[in-house]
Structure 1
């Protein structure tokens, strides 16, 4: 009888243990209202959902090259005659009003997405409104892949160039390194070619220039082979991250994609890490699938919002899945084609906000030690910290990678209240101070919580950048909230 009772207790315990995660995920789903926030007519917003702004008009550009050139010249003329400013928008994933000017004209560039591949020289010519996922699907048919791009494929190519995004490709500079040239519509209606040999100053200013120097039209990008990759991972202490990264990633010629992650649950907060990498293998390349089922993965992620159990569960499931999927084969394009819907927030009372800090490896561990008490004591909920190696960038004028650095990508969930907005401003300034102390920089596409002086400490070229803005656009036709805040 006693053994029977023990057996029943063990069975019930196992059932409860297995059902708790399922119940937690279902509870997360039940708590969502699946309502989409509609933007009122005459207004626009961005991914922050905190920049609802009245505008003059939103103009959808055409996909045809001749039509867009003619239309944009007419818009420039109209803007000058009516003293209106022009801002440029793609997928609108910047978070500080970089695509918005109050009562201005917004150019929606997304329709402009034609593509052509030069298979001899491995160069993709693409309209700036195309999303990376569009380019990946197009290139997949030719056995090619994007050389450098961000972790999600739902950003526009023109937008990524305008913020000079970085990727998780092994030991590479930001996107700037893969840009061969682009055509640019300037404030006087002229369309010019910009490259390292032609109009080089504008080339450097436009990459990471936040749409302030003109409209990017056609982009020429380097492409690489689409290859088969095998997943591997290591669980480690953050103290050993740099040495392990050198041994297993930098010194391994087969590694192609790589990212790290820090544990953010209260238990073992920033005390555990994973190093995740993908090695080239001689195997059949899987076909790129159009759709992925991501709802369970999304709910596991959303279940970690303001929930310690959810944060532990997510870490345990991800590290557990790492063991299950170890040795699995993927195509490079499949790995790059992740959509931002993987982490989509359906709670209309809150928003998810990114921050990024770029730290040289000599201060890697000190940076983690310094941010630990700040993040621990903050009232803003931390959802994720990803680590990516970014090599020195020699192209962008506003350069955040002036030497080889590690990018710390922090994702927060913030309630849409004045109190949480004030808390986020305090937190951001504390983190920027730590980055500067550790000889690092902060990334500019996010909320405008940093003052001009601190921004210039991080970007010593800022004054010259804004002077050159007036050289190329003296009437400030191309404008946005970012420019008004920092100039």
Structure 2
């Protein structure tokens, strides 16, 4: 068969087009990497900050508690005595992923709980005893050796157990209330140095106020958590219109007893903005789970660059959406373990640009107003000058445990991630945007999450959380000198 000049030219043109198609995203990711400063931020002496990188605060003392369980109570009592003698306030810190100064008080003492990370599993009753400073990632790897897994946990495993209890984080486990539902009990050192056992049967008022209590009632020490079996899970993916999300959620998730983990995502590129969605879920399989291993650094870095390449880039946002949706097709044939999926590090989306920061919002909306909320926030987000990077959707069942609860009925949580420049102008823009989004949540009978920036006024917060006044009065009841304190408390009290 003779190859004509026309055929050769066509083949060459096709090859060139293919090279351009492949080369352009690679060049985009390389440019993303090149622009990063990757300068490690060093804080001044006696200063602390949190994940927002906007809360630099001078404090009196930063104290890391001992790892030894027998020594911790004695040292903490000494710290309490020192604080009372010197008239200082105490703030508690773990991995510092809250964003509103929840882990600091100006001129106060910061207690770093991370060293207190012991773990012990009761294999008969499936109960994990764990120090409040432990990271979830460490707990996952510990449990993996026993074929067990955390029952309820947020999407990233980089947070501390005590921090997650203090904000009452929620996960993406099917039919699950927030994290408080998996807590059997915990010990708490109060302002007088007493160690109390708190559960649904003992010191119940403290139990309900400490969970989601933002470190205002005392120091969480030892926690007992429910654990479940680790399992092999197969990934499934559905592309859909947002208006069909709740209908498909019932069909593919609620009516499917095999589903274990599930999340949704909305498209945030200007093209098809909030007009496309995905439903991603993992079904139980009969395959025995293999032992957990950590992802290769090269794979993690590629994923991170794809995410970071979407910052202030319409092309990057489209590329990320296309890659995620196209890669979902072959991923349908893959099997993962529950622990492997849950051991996801926040480093996968790490921002290495020192001139900007990534800020989270979350709004909890009842199913009846799901689409109304999307329609209400769409013009707000399009008009905003802040760069929206991501919207994830997670279902959260009603919370019967935390007093300051955000899920007072079954809701869908809309998790929004923004990139903000560290300028006064963009901080003002974020303040305005946050209030508009909270107003949209209120209009749709929803709530907003409290671990983030303190841009909502006290009166509006109490409209969303009518139990707040009683919550703060109970705080005074147990801590009349307001020894345990932070910027969150100062703002909303």
- Shorter-chain-normalised TM-score: which range? over 0.9
Residue of structure 2 equivalent to 1:432: 438
1:352 aligns with 2:353: no
Q: Using the alignment, how far apart are the partners of 2:318 and 2:112 within structure 1?
A: 41
SS in 2 for 1:113: coil
Q: Deviation per CA, 1:300-327, whole angstroms, max 9, x where unpaired? A: 0000000000000000000011011112
Query: Residue 34 of structure 1: CA displacement?
Result: 1.3
* RMSD of equivalent CA atoms: 0.7
Residue of structure 1 equivalent to 2:80: 76
Query: Residue 105 of structure 1: CA displacement?
Result: 0.3
Whether the 8 Å contact between 2:242 and 2:275 is mirrored in structure 1 is: yes
Q: Using the alignment, how far apart are the partners of 2:367 and 2:214 within structure 1?
A: 28
Query: Residue 170 of structure 1: CA displacement?
Result: 0.6
Q: Using the alignment, how far apart are the partners of 1:191 and 1:76 within structure 2?
A: 13
Q: Deviation per CA, 1:449-475, whole angstroms, max 9, x where unpaired? A: 000011011101000011111100000
Of 292, 300, 319, the residue aligned with 2:306 is: 300
1:36 aligns with 2:40: yes
Of 336, 339, 354, the residue aligned with 1:330 is: 336
Of 467, 471, 474, the residue aligned with 2:477 is: 471
Whether the 8 Å contact between 2:145 and 2:291 is mirrored in structure 1 is: no
Whether the 8 Å contact between 2:197 and 2:203 is mirrored in structure 1 is: yes
Of 155, 159, 168, the residue aligned with 2:159 is: 155
Of 222, 227, 230, the residue aligned with 2:231 is: 227
Residue of structure 1 equivalent to 2:65: 61
Q: Deviation per CA, 1:71-126, whole angstroms, max 9, x where unpaired? A: 00000000000000000000000000000100100000000000111111100000
1:214 aligns with 2:218: yes
Unmatched segments (≥5 aa) in structure 1:
none
Residue of structure 1 equivalent to 2:49: 45
1:383 aligns with 2:396: no
Whether the 8 Å contact between 2:396 and 2:410 is mirrored in structure 1 is: yes
SS in 1 for 2:413: strand
Question: Equivalent residues in 2 for 1:192-341 (5 A)?
Answer: 192-293=196-297, 294-341=300-347
Residue of structure 2 equivalent to 1:460: 466
Of 105, 108, 112, the residue aligned with 1:104 is: 108
Q: Deviation per CA, 1:273-307, whole angstroms, max 9, x where unpaired? A: 00000000001312100344300000000000000
1:449 aligns with 2:455: yes
Q: Using the alignment, how far apart are the partners of 2:354 and 2:65 within structure 1?
A: 30
Of 452, 465, 486, the residue aligned with 1:480 is: 486
SS in 1 for 2:177: coil
Runs of 4+ in 1 over 6 A off after TM superposition: none
Query: Residue 201 of structure 1: CA displacement?
Result: 0.4
Q: Using the alignment, how far apart are the partners of 1:146 and 1:7 within structure 2?
A: 54
Query: Residue 2 of structure 1: CA displacement?
Result: 3.4
Query: Residue 129 of structure 1: CA displacement?
Result: 0.1
Q: Using the alignment, how far apart are the partners of 1:33 and 1:394 within structure 2?
A: 45
SS in 2 for 1:257: strand
Q: Deviation per CA, 1:214-269, whole angstroms, max 9, x where unpaired? A: 00000000000000000001000000000000010011000000000000000000
Question: Equivalent residues in 2 for 1:80-91 (5 A)?
Answer: 80-91=84-95
Residue of structure 1 equivalent to 2:422: 416
Whether the 8 Å contact between 2:177 and 2:397 is mirrored in structure 1 is: yes
1:13 aligns with 2:13: no
Q: Using the alignment, how far apart are the partners of 2:67 and 2:11 within structure 1?
A: 68
Q: Using the alignment, how far apart are the partners of 1:321 and 1:163 within structure 2?
A: 34
SS in 1 for 2:429: helix
Whether the 8 Å contact between 2:61 and 2:109 is mirrored in structure 1 is: yes
How many residues are paired up? 487
